[in-house]
Amino acid sequence: MAMTATQKILAAHAGLREVHAGQLINATLDLVLSNDITAPVAVNEFHKAGFERVFDPSKVVFVLDHFTPNKDIKSAQNCKQLRIFAKEHGIGHFYDVGAMGIEHVLLPEKGLAAPGDLIIGADSHTCTYGALGAFSTGVGSTDAAAGIATGNAWFKVPSAIKVVLTGKPNEDVSGKDVILHLIGLIGVDGARYRSLEFFGDGIQYLSMDDRLCIANMAIECGAKNGIFPVDDVTKTYLKERVSRPYTAYEADADAEYDETIEINLSTLRPTASFPHLPSNTHTIDEIKTQFGKIAIDQAVIGSCTNGRMEDMRIAAAILKNKKTAPGVRVIVIPGSQEVYLGCVREGLAEIFVSAGAAFSTPTCGPCLGGHMGILADGEKCVSTTNRNFVGRMGHTESEVYLASPAVAAYSALRGYICGKEEF
């Protein structure tokens, strides 16, 4: 039976020759991830169920990234609970203040995700690792607890959508524009419980940071996961990060797909998602002609979607020797300590601060309305994060516009949402 790449990975981990869409399977896990919000719940469920041991301390990862450095007593207590649990069970992949990063930036960086892996995480954006040819998906904290204890999880095998990328994107178009365009095409539930499988000669023009961004937001159109082929770009990225053997799976030529979506990257324009759905997309040209100057109060550049080195370089190149617009708060959040150090070494940190931005320690903070950039009523923010639901970044009367690092940086300089055409 012909299978997609996702189905091949699931079959291999279930010990089956083949699987088909809709089939329920029990599969072994290569990695179980959780963070400082979801891991305490998982730990509580672990104890409640009477478990005494984790299945493999080397395959459990805790990243303290959402409310750290701790913003209040509750977050401090949660992190203390995880420190105790990690020490008791010998969990080596424990990333605390000073060593942590935003989880979905940190894990690929540390070589913890590789092609052919099956990874679950108690965070919806765990689908990020599909950029490396892995099957990775978000689960609830109870499922994470079971995974931590047993090393197994139940899955319903997803059907798939084939996304064919052709052409070469223009210089000002990034992975963020690609995924926003796709979500705008199919809607926030257009790929519900299906796999997004990417193909086409256009992929060669997407950097690994682009691909990580695209896979990260697969969940924003309801997908179970997003997955890219393992090519030379992938292998180069993995070369100095992953030393263990891995298996790159390719879809069969006659694999079945529910539908095929073709996107010519050369026709795309910088795109933003308006409140309050990621699918409410408009190109930068449409914004200018149809909406005029949408004034902003804040710009956030960072997150697990766009907090990597390439994102920092793009934003810094635009902000260099310039000042952010009066009245606009600009917050730059590198996705990991490695990215933070890169910004310092390359002089990007100085560019950000000189431009009038706050340069933060790695944290998920403002993305989920946690800390480090909460919005008040009526305020508008252009953000490189991944969600713009009602109240996502603070007050329910605030508004979040999702965009690429370039659009966020240009907007920070002008004080309204715009692209390079304004300069």
Confidence at 125, pLDDT banded by 50, 70, 90: very high
pLDDT at residue 196 above 90? yes
pLDDT tens for each residue of 384-398:
999 999 999 999 999
Report the pLDDT value the prediction gives residue 264, as an integer from 0 to 100: 98
Residue 422 has pLDDT above 90, yes or no: no
Domains 5-264 and 271-422 share a fold: yes
Residue 108, preceding bond cis, omega within 30 degrees? no
pLDDT (0 to 100) of residue 127: 97
pLDDT score at 100? 87
pLDDT of residue 20: 95
Structure tokens at 20: 């088909």
Domain ranges within the chain, ordered by starting residue? 5-264, 271-422
pLDDT digits (tens, 9 = 90+) for 286-304: 999 999 999 999 999 999 9
Mean pLDDT of 44-63: 96
Tens digits of residue pLDDT in 296-326: 999 999 999 999 999 999 999 999 999 999 9
pLDDT at 240: 87
Residue 242 contacts residue 144 (beta carbons within 8 Å)? no
Residue 67 pLDDT: 93
Task: With CA atoms as reference, report the closest residue to 313 among 179, 405, 232.
Answer: 405
* Tens of pLDDT, residues 69-108: 999 999 999 999 999 999 999 999 999 999 989 999 999 9
CATH of domain 271-422: 3.30.499.10
Specify the pTM: 0.95
Q: Comparing C-alpha atoms, which of 102, 44, 6, 165 is closest to residue 367?
A: 102
Quote the percentage of the chain above a pLDDT of 90. Answer: 96
Percentage of the chain surpassing pLDDT 70? 100
Predicted confidence at residue 421, as pLDDT, reads 87
Give the pLDDT mean for 53-60.
Answer: 97
Q: What is the pLDDT of residue 407?
A: 98
pLDDT number for residue 400: 98
List the Cα angle 19/117/29 in 5-degree steps: 75
The CATH number corresponding to 5-264 among 3.40.50.10330, 1.10.10.10, 3.30.565.10, 3.30.499.10 equals 3.30.499.10
How high is the pLDDT of residue 40?
A: 97
Cα distance between residue 336 and residue 105, in whole Å: 7
pLDDT of residue 45: 96
Question: How do residues 255-273 score in pLDDT, each as one tens digit?
Answer: 999 999 999 999 999 999 9
Confidence tier at 113 by pLDDT (50, 70, 90): very high
pLDDT per residue as tens digits for the range 136-164 = 999 999 999 999 999 999 999 999 999 99
Average confidence score pLDDT of the chain: 96
